[in-house]
């Protein structure tokens, strides 16, 4: 057997096919290793970014003091702990009285993020108070002054410059003051009936947090649904005052912050899947080219008496050598690429906390990438080798076309290995299966369409028919070329869709101030003040408290009331003659024309079984209200504007029974003018969300840069697929060029003919890839909750780009054959 291996090895490395195969395998190993490792790091880093908003990885909340049971459990799991108590109270000096949000912290706060004060202090001491700038302005105090909170006096020792831990609901009254946990009791602010939020902040390693979460689920009666998300209705009062222990994770917090993170997670998974598929396709194409270039050598060995078993063993050993070389190259490049990718992200994205771990790469994604890459190689090579070994020598020498049966065997085994490759290397099985299924179905449909088109062109027997050699073979080449191109395009298209979505979410002038509890008799005066200052605002909506109690005259099931947050608490209801601008009517008529008509948020309607025409019963301060459902709305809860589950037609409710709410934008340089406005409307709550808004903007900027880096990595894999496809096209036309030259065809004619043929294949592949990309992006858009849309720019760019690119590459790659003697050209074909 060794006698066969040496000549095979020399012959293999004398041809170009083995080098592209080694490159494809190396890229598959390195790209998937680096991408899986960096994906895990990015997800962890972005999770930490989100955790900063709640100052911890996990937060236990209750309106009674947190039980020692959970503190002991956290200690057992070696989690860092910090206690925070939040309540509302009156802060006052001799001349000024202001309702403030008091946050009592301990020395370990915060566990994530940072709390910066000026002048700098390591921790707050008993008897001291730190104030936000708005608190300082409203109370008209300075450093060193004395401030009373309820019954206790405090010394103002610092101004809060930055506190990542921004409250997410409307109970988080602005302005904020911070005191020490030791001083809560002496304020006497907490009395029977007071609304207090007790929190136990926890931070640690992912496995520690997971164990704590599992223990919490196992020992709480609410188990699976222990956490009720902070109600996304903009006017929520943090949901309920009933005693309820809740566990909040970083990704259960503010939907405005977490929605982009969820989209990023899907994008990371998709980038991983596409890179894997592109590398797998590159391996498949390269391995087929390698086998084709070596079929004559196998035939010669068979003629010289070599047995099938000997040849098979020799080729398997040769493949192991190729895999070994690719493993060394891929591992080295993968480690370097993983390190370089993280360093690049640290340069581009200084907000992220990324760490390179050689051990995690060596024992994590690298072995799996090597194993699965080898599986794909064997899946595509072995069926072809088996077919060649079972063919009589005389038929191999004649290089007869492969049978349809052998092509199907190769397709099935190769596809199965590619599916295994994709599923093993991706953690999102559902998304992988969806993308793979759509890819296979589209490939089959488009192959048939292109084959029918080419067969029809060939049947015309005109000038264009001469450019169609074998319709089925050309259709397969076009489909493969289009598939590689489209997988790259999908990521570019989704990147632009995400950017557009995020830019729409955070346009210039996004409201950074909310006003809540504005008395009806002050609405006109408030509007005049905003107009005088030139501050853009959303409409002011009446806000009436009410409960949804019945559906079509039947009270809701008590079991449903217990589990649905919208049924077990008072809702904020409004009436208006126009909807918030980011609301979209998904069914029913848009206009609310008569009193007693109501528009319902679509997801809530689905959860409660509410349909168009149904009658809903609400309990209001003035009595019961019957309302007919006339439309369902899609609501962008992530927007920084007021939104509601229920919007009634004008005149349905008594607006004086409640208050008004809205949002407006204050330019940063004019924020000092807010103090006078707050003092003028002293009965109204003003909530500053500018810090939260800035955190979301920072995160979006981080995500934009992350997906750009990932798109470049996927494009590198896609470029290899395109080169592999074009190489196969070139190989098949080398013999034609040599034969036509030997029969006297001119160089210019050959160059023009081949350039046009390859260019037309590229054009058709470009058109097919656009269709591929549109369908695939629409499928993934649904998973990312993005509105599917057509991308006309790719229909203009891709076909023309592929026409020019393939024509130029074809002319360049084949022109050298036209410049040498025909006999020499024929001799070079099998080198």
Are both 236 and 380 inside the same structural domain?
Answer: no
Range with the lowest mean pLDDT among 340-354, 464-478, 624-638?
340-354
Residues whose CB falls within 8 Å of the CB of residue 574, separated by 6 or more in sequence, listed in order: 541, 542, 543, 544, 644, 646, 647, 648
Residue 458 pLDDT > 60: yes
The arithmetic mean of pLDDT across residues 691-709, rounded, is: 68
Range with the lowest mean pLDDT among 93-107, 119-133, 334-348?
334-348
| 526 compared with 458, residue with greater pLDDT | 526
Give residue 654's pLDDT. 86
Does residue 53 belong to any structural domain of this protein?
Answer: no
Report the distance separating Cα 587 and Cα 626, nearest Å.
21
Give residue 174's pLDDT. 61
Are both 704 and 824 inside the same structural domain?
Answer: yes
For 24-67, write each residue's pLDDT tens digit: 778 777 777 777 776 667 667 767 766 777 788 899 988 889 98
Are both 467 and 403 inside the same structural domain?
Answer: yes
Lookup: tokens for 137: 């302005």
Report the distance separating Cα 348 and Cα 351, nearest Å.
9
Residue 400 pLDDT > 60: no
Give residue 632's pLDDT. 94
Does residue 55 belong to any structural domain of this protein?
Answer: no
Are both 575 and 626 inside the same structural domain?
Answer: yes
Lookup: tokens for 427: 């953690």
Does residue 154 belong to any structural domain of this protein?
Answer: yes
Residue 618 pLDDT > 90: yes
Does residue 58 belong to any structural domain of this protein?
Answer: no
Cα dihedral 799, 800, 803, 804 in deg (nearest 10): -150
Does residue 249 belong to any structural domain of this protein?
Answer: no
For 216-232, write each residue's pLDDT tens digit: 888 776 543 333 333 33
Does residue 784 belong to any structural domain of this protein?
Answer: yes
Angle at 110 between CA 106 and CA 116, to 5 degrees: 100
The arithmetic mean of pLDDT across residues 766-771, rounded, is: 85
Residue 819 pLDDT > 50: yes
Picking from 655, 688, 721, the residue at the C-terminal end of a domain is 688
- Residue among 246, 225, 202, 252 at smallest CA distance from 64: 246
Are both 279 and 154 inside the same structural domain?
Answer: no
Give residue 200's pLDDT. 93
Indicate the pairing of strand 176-180 with strand 97-105. Answer: parallel
| 465 compared with 134, residue with greater pLDDT | 134
* Percentage of the residues of the chain whose pLDDT score is greater than 90: 16
Residue 727 pLDDT > 80: no
Angle at 469 between CA 466 and CA 475, to 5 degrees: 120
Give the residue numbers spanning the domain of 417.
2-47+259-504+697-828
Are both 587 and 706 inside the same structural domain?
Answer: no
Report the distance separating Cα 735 and Cα 756, nearest Å.
17
Picking from 688, 705, 729, the residue at the C-terminal end of a domain is 688
Are both 106 and 216 inside the same structural domain?
Answer: yes
Q: Where does the pLDDT of residue 728 fall: very low under 50, low under 70, confident under 90, or very high at 90 and above? A: low
Are both 190 and 82 inside the same structural domain?
Answer: yes
For 658-675, write each residue's pLDDT tens digit: 889 988 999 988 888 888
> By three-state DSSP, how is residue 105 classified?
strand
Q: What is the DSSP string of 544-606?
A: EEEEEEEETTEEPPHHHHHH-TTTSS-EEEEE-SS--TT-EEEEE-S---STTEEEEEHHHHH
Are both 656 and 531 inside the same structural domain?
Answer: yes
Does residue 531 belong to any structural domain of this protein?
Answer: yes
Does residue 562 belong to any structural domain of this protein?
Answer: yes
Number of domains in the chain: 3
* Percentage of the residues of the chain whose pLDDT score is greater than 70: 70
Residue 422 exposure: Cα atoms within 13 Å on the Cβ side = 29
Are both 39 and 79 inside the same structural domain?
Answer: no
Give residue 612's pLDDT. 93
Give residue 242's pLDDT. 46
Picking from 662, 688, 714, the residue at the C-terminal end of a domain is 688
Are both 214 and 264 inside the same structural domain?
Answer: no
| 783 compared with 209, residue with greater pLDDT | 209
Are both 232 and 351 inside the same structural domain?
Answer: no
């Amino acid at each position: 057997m060794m006698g066969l291996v040496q000549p095979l090895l020399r012959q293999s490395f004398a041809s170009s096919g083995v080098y592209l195969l080694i490159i494809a395998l190396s890229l598959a190993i390195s790209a998937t290793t680096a991408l899986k490792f960096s994906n895990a790091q990015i997800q962890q880093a972005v999770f930490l970014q989100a955790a900063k908003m709640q100052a911890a990885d996990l937060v236990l909340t209750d309106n009674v003091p947190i039980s020692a049971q959970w503190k002991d459990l956290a200690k057992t799991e070696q989690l860092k702990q910090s206690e925070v108590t939040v309540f509302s109270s009156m802060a006052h000096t001799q001349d000024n009285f202001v309702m403030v949000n008091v946050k009592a912290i301990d020395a370990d706060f915060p566990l994530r993020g940072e709390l910066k004060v000026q002048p700098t202090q390591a921790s707050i001491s008993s008897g001291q108070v730190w104030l936000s700038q708005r608190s300082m302005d409203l109370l008209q105090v300075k450093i060193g002054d004395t401030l009373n909170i309820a019954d206790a006096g405090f010394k103002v020792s610092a101004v809060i410059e930055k506190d990542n831990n921004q409250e997410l609901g409307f109970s988080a009254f602005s302005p904020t003051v911070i005191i020490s946990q030791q001083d809560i009791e002496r304020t006497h602010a907490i009395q029977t009936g007071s609304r207090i939020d007790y929190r136990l902040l926890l931070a640690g390693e992912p496995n520690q947090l997971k164990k704590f979460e599992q223990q919490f689920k196992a020992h709480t009666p609410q188990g699976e649904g222990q956490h009720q998300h902070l109600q996304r209705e903009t006017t929520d009062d943090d949901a309920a005052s009933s005693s309820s222990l809740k566990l909040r994770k970083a990704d259960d917090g503010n939907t405005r912050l977490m929605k982009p993170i969820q989209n990023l997670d899907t994008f990371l998974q998709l980038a991983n899947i596409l890179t894997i598929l592109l590398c797998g396709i590159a391996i498949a194409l390269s391995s087929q080219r390698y086998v084709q270039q070596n079929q004559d050598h196998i035939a010669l060995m068979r003629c010289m008496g070599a047995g099938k078993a000997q040849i098979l063993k020799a080729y398997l050993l040769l493949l192991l050598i190729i895999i070994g070389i690719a493993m060394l190259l891929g591992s080295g490049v993968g480690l370097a690429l993983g390190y370089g990718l993280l360093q690049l992200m640290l340069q581009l994205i200084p907000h992220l906390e990324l760490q390179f771990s050689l051990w995690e790469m060596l024992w994590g994604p690298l072995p799996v990438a090597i194993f699965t890459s080898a599986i794909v190689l064997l899946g595509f090579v072995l069926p072809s080798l088996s077919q060649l070994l079972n063919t009589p020598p005389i038929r191999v020498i004649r290089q007869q076309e492969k049978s349809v049966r052998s092509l199907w065997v190769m397709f099935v085994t190769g596809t199965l290995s590619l599916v295994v490759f994709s599923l093993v290397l991706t953690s999102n099985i559902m998304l992988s299966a969806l993308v793979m299924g759509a890819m296979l179905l589209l490939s089959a449909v488009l192959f048939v369409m292109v084959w029918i088109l080419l067969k029809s062109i060939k049947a015309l027997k005109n000038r264009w028919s001469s450019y169609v050699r074998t319709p089925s073979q050309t259709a397969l080449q076009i489909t493969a070329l289009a598939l590689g191109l489209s997988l790259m395009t999908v990521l570019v298209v989704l990147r632009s869709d995400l950017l557009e979505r995020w830019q729409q979410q955070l346009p210039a002038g996004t409201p950074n101030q909310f006003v809540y509890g504005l008395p009806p008799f002050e609405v006109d005066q408030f509007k005049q003040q905003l107009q005088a200052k030139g501050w853009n605002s959303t409409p002011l909506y009446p806000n009436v408290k009410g409960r949804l109690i019945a559906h079509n005259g039947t009270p809701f099931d008590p079991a449903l009331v217990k589990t649905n947050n919208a049924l077990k608490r008072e809702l904020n209801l409004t009436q208006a003659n126009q909807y918030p601008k980011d609301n979209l009517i998904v069914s029913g008529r848009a206009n609310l024309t008569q009193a007693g008509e109501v528009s319902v948020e679509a997801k809530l309607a689905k959860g409660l079984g509410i349909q168009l025409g149904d009658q809903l019963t609400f309990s209001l301060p003035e009595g019961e209200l019957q309302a007919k459902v006339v439309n369902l709305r899609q609501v962008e809860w992530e927007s920084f504007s007021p939104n509601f589950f229920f919007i009634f037609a004008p005149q349905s409710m008594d607006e004086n029974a409640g208050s008004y709410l809205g949002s407006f934008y204050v330019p940063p340089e004019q924020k000092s003018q807010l103090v006078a406005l707050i003092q003028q409307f002293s009965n109204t709550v003003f909530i500053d969300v500018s810090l939260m808004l800035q955190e979301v903007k920072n995160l979006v900027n981080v995500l934009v840069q992350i997906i750009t880096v990932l798109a470049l990595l996927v494009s590198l894999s896609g470029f290899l697929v395109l080169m592999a496809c074009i190489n196969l096209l070139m190989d098949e036309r080398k013999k034609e060029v040599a034969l036509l030259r030997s029969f006297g065809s001119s160089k210019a004619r050959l160059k023009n003919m081949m350039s046009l043929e390859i260019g037309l294949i590229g054009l058709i592949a470009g058109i097919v890839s656009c269709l591929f990309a549109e369908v695939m992006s629409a499928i993934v858009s649904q998973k990312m909750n993005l509105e599917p849309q057509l991308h006309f720019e790719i229909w203009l760019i891709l076909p023309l780009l592929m026409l020019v690119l393939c024509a130029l590459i074809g002319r360049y790659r084949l022109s050298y054959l036209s410049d040498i003697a025909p006999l020499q050209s024929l001799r070079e074909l099998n080198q």
